[in-house]
Amino acid sequence: MGGLQKKKFERGSATNYITRNKARKKLQLSLPDFRRLCILKGIYPHEPKHKKKVNKGSTAPRTFYLLKDIRFLLHEPIVGKFRDYKVFVRKLKKAYGKTEWSAVERLKENKPTYKLDHIIKERYPTFIDALRDIDDSLCMCFLFSTFARTGKCHVQTIQLCRRLTVEWMNYVITARALRKVFISIKGIYYQAEVMGQLITWLVPYQFSHDHPTDVDYRVMATFTELYTTLLGFINFRLYHSLNLLYPPKLDSKSESELKEENEEDYALNSECYLEKLSALSASLARVVSTAEEEEEAEPDQFPIEGEDLEKMEEKEKKQKEQEAQKKLFEGLKFYLNREVPRESLAFVIRCFGGEVSWDKSVCIGSTYEVTDETITHQIVDRPNINKQYINRYYIQPQWVYDCINAKILLPVEDYFLGVTLPPHLSPFVEEKDGDYMPPEKVKIMALQRGEKPVHEQEDDDEEEGEDDDEGEDEEEEDDNEDEEDDDAESEEKNLKKMEEQRSQGKSLQVKVTPGKMKVQNPARLEQEEKAEEKRLAIMMMKKKEKYLYDKIMFGKKRKIREANKLAAKRKAYDDAEKAKKKKARK
């Protein structure tokens, strides 16, 4: 009986896992190299279910990998390259130490490098797999492209990231793939739909970097190394799917437009082309030069099954909506003032078919100037502007983003200069029935349904009517304000009408209507004049007097308020009393 005695930790989960240090020794790599290899190959640490069993009875916290994964790593050709690199560094150090410069030169020329192409192919066997995993790489590339070239990472990496991101943005513009934008305090979130995949990425604001010390730059650089390779291949494929040239070339027409005399002022000759591309104002050249506006043939639709008819209809409706959204800004001409974030706005506007330009001194690639009469919207982010053109709207940048999220052109009045903006709502929140919805969202949804905005002014009026027994002064002022409000309202309504008509692509109704006599109430006019005088007098007061006046007024108002309160109480009491009496009578 008996047989050999079983030993502990020689079978079961203990043999399935390997600690990080052991794995490192097995691969004969240093810890940084091991980390890099794991990141590139997509092998991640694993938390075992029973740590004590795996850890041979010890409960010390350790990093574990699956043994099979490490065995898989043993076959990787890059491991050899890492070892080569180690030797190269050693030789280089030696040559430096001996001040053998020719040897240093020779070694540097033969620096061992490696390619990640086969890893990309291995990790993402199909294009769609890669596209699903692109979020990370986009975030990382956009992040690295905003880094200052100060030696936190290789300058070449930053340049490559910049190039790839510009290519990506150009693709999104040409494909009109953008869906949502959200300006947060962290950065700008974008969401695009590429080949049926929703892709979200985060772009940091420019120049907003403090370099945090608790981030491992080496790890991030390794991820970026992988992601740049991935994004490059994806870009290539995407460009070819749209019949675009890769690497991207500007359209010959737009290229000639962008040709300027003093290009050297902006950038070196070597960087000029990338700069022009990154200006995002010009369209790209296609492999087969087709007609400018090629009408896409609508695919015939066959109902697959009878029961799916409703779904089909829904789909169709959605598609139509999307098509409409894609052409949201078509025919509009934007001009960006210098204080607005140029790149983001240019990208967003071009994504929806708008034309965009900016001041020549802001960036290369501006196509028209402020003086252009055909500009419909000028985007301004300052309280007022001196020289205004009549035939264009001066709006704040939030309008553009809100329009995109609402999928319609919103009324511009809420976004005029110096106006307090309505809140910028997150498009990534999807409310279910019964959830709380901010009133602005309700309004936008109503607009989407095609309803006209309903003003809640009536309610206000009623309330004011009730509060009639307040002090005389207040009443007067209220009246005045009411009137002004009315005027503003009517104006707004007119503007809104015009706006809607314009968004629907109709030409404005130009009609001459017979004028109406305005009936003027002389008593009221007099009152108004008096009130105006009073207000002006208050405005002209000295600071000291104003202070005193305010105090007096405040005291008065307080008295009135207290009186009102008491009156209300009294009334309530009276009512109660009456009710009691009635009861007693009965």
Enumerate residues 285-344 that contact another protein by CB under 8 A.
339-341
Q: Does 500 bind another protein (CB under 8 A)?
A: no
Q: Which of 14, 104, 107, 220 binds another protein (CB under 8 A)?
A: 220
Residues 419-458 that bind another protein (CB under 8 A): 420-421, 423-426, 428-429, 436, 438, 440-441
* Spatial distance between the Cα atoms of 354 and 336, rounded to a whole number of angstroms: 12
Residues 247-276 that bind another protein (CB under 8 A): 247
In 3D space, the residue among 131, 160, 161 whose CA is nearest the CA of residue 143 turns out to be 161
* Spatial distance between the Cα atoms of 350 and 173, rounded to a whole number of angstroms: 6
Q: Which of 5, 99, 102, 126 binds another protein (CB under 8 A)?
A: 126
Binding segment (CB under 8 A) for another protein, from list 171-179, 201-209, 520-528, 552-560: 201-209
Q: Which of 87, 90, 96, 216 binds another protein (CB under 8 A)?
A: 216
- Residue 194: phi and psi, rounded to 5, are -120, 120
3-state secondary structure of 542: coil
Q: How far is the CA of 570 from the CAs of 37, 464, 561, 578, 581, in angstroms?
A: 83, 21, 14, 12, 16
DSSP string for 238-296: HHHHTTB-SS--B-HHHHHHH--TTGGGTS-HHHHHHHHHHH--SPBPBSS---SSPPP
Residues 224-243 that bind another protein (CB under 8 A): 225, 228-229, 232-233, 235-237, 240
Kindly give the residue spans of alpha helices, DSSP state H, lying in 435-542.
439-448, 457-466, 472-503, 522-540
* Spatial distance between the Cα atoms of 121 and 382, rounded to a whole number of angstroms: 50
Q: Which of 5, 59, 213, 256 binds another protein (CB under 8 A)?
A: 213
For residue 502, give every residue at least 6 positions away whose Cβ sits within 8 Å of its Cβ, in sequence order, or none: 409, 508
* Spatial distance between the Cα atoms of 248 and 283, rounded to a whole number of angstroms: 10
Binding segment (CB under 8 A) for another protein, from list 37-45, 295-303, 470-478, 506-514: 37-45
Task: Answer yes or no: are the C-beta atoms of 453 and 446 closer than 8 Å.
Answer: yes
Rounded to the nearest whole angstrom, what is the least distance from the CB of residue 91 to another protein in the complex?
Answer: 16
Rounded to the nearest whole angstrom, what is the least distance from the CB of residue 77 to another protein in the complex?
Answer: 8
Residues 529-558 that bind another protein (CB under 8 A): none
C-alpha torsion 232→235→237→239, nearest 10: -140
Q: Scanning the structure block, which residue is given the tokens 């319609």? A: 408
Is the Cβ of residue 205 or residue 549 nearer to another protein in the bound state?
205
Residues 105-124 that bind another protein (CB under 8 A): 109-111, 113-118, 120-124
Residues 160-179 that bind another protein (CB under 8 A): 160, 162-163
Is the Cβ of residue 400 or residue 408 nearer to another protein in the bound state?
400
Is the Cβ of residue 419 or residue 537 nearer to another protein in the bound state?
419
Task: Answer yes or no: are the C-beta atoms of 471 and 556 closer than 8 Å.
Answer: yes
In 3D space, the residue among 364, 124, 354 whose CA is nearest the CA of residue 227 turns out to be 124
Rounded to the nearest whole angstrom, what is the least distance from the CB of residue 402 to another protein in the complex?
Answer: 10
Is the Cβ of residue 232 or residue 354 nearer to another protein in the bound state?
232
Q: Does 398 bind another protein (CB under 8 A)?
A: yes
* Spatial distance between the Cα atoms of 66 and 176, rounded to a whole number of angstroms: 44
Binding segment (CB under 8 A) for another protein, from list 128-136, 276-284, 369-377, 546-554: 128-136
Task: Answer yes or no: are the C-beta atoms of 172 and 192 closer than 8 Å.
Answer: yes
Q: Which of 10, 214, 300, 463 binds another protein (CB under 8 A)?
A: 214
Rounded to the nearest whole angstrom, what is the least distance from the CB of residue 99 to another protein in the complex?
Answer: 25
Binding segment (CB under 8 A) for another protein, from list 183-191, 453-461, 528-536, 550-558: 183-191
Binding segment (CB under 8 A) for another protein, from list 9-17, 212-220, 306-314, 565-573: 212-220
* Spatial distance between the Cα atoms of 546 and 210, rounded to a whole number of angstroms: 47
Q: How far is the CA of 305 from the CAs of 310, 311, 313, 318, 319, in angstroms?
A: 10, 10, 13, 19, 19
Rounded to the nearest whole angstrom, what is the least distance from the CB of residue 269 to another protein in the complex?
Answer: 14
Is the Cβ of residue 143 or residue 244 nearer to another protein in the bound state?
143
Rounded to the nearest whole angstrom, what is the least distance from the CB of residue 135 to another protein in the complex?
Answer: 4
Is the Cβ of residue 445 or residue 576 nearer to another protein in the bound state?
445
Residues 41-100 that bind another protein (CB under 8 A): 42-47, 61-63, 68-69, 72, 75, 77
Rounded to the nearest whole angstrom, what is the least distance from the CB of residue 300 to another protein in the complex?
Answer: 28
Strands 197-204 and 187-194: antiparallel
Rounded to the nearest whole angstrom, what is the least distance from the CB of residue 40 to another protein in the complex?
Answer: 10
Q: Does 189 bind another protein (CB under 8 A)?
A: yes
Rounded to the nearest whole angstrom, what is the least distance from the CB of residue 49 to another protein in the complex?
Answer: 11
Task: Answer yes or no: are the C-beta atoms of 228 and 139 closer than 8 Å.
Answer: no
Binding segment (CB under 8 A) for another protein, from list 294-302, 320-328, 395-403, 444-452: 395-403
The token duo for 203 is 């772009």
Residues 554-583 that bind another protein (CB under 8 A): none
Is the Cβ of residue 109 or residue 298 nearer to another protein in the bound state?
109
Chain centroid to Cα 510, Å, comes to: 38
Rounded to the nearest whole angstrom, what is the least distance from the CB of residue 372 to another protein in the complex?
Answer: 24
Is the Cβ of residue 49 or residue 543 nearer to another protein in the bound state?
49
Residues 338-377, one symbol each (x = binds another protein by CB under 8 A, - = not), give: -xxx------------------------------------
Angle, CA 385 vertex, CA 355 and CA 390 arms, to 5°: 60
Cβ atoms < 10 Å from Cβ of 212: 7
Rounded to the nearest whole angstrom, what is the least distance from the CB of residue 283 to another protein in the complex?
Answer: 21
Binders of another protein: how many residues, by CB under 8 A? 102
Cβ atoms < 10 Å from Cβ of 427: 18
Is the Cβ of residue 124 or residue 171 nearer to another protein in the bound state?
124
In 3D space, the residue among 76, 55, 74, 52 whose CA is nearest the CA of residue 64 turns out to be 55
User: Is the sign of the CA dihedral 406, 409, 411, 412 positive or negative?
Assistant: positive
Binding segment (CB under 8 A) for another protein, from list 223-231, 278-286, 307-315, 520-528: 223-231
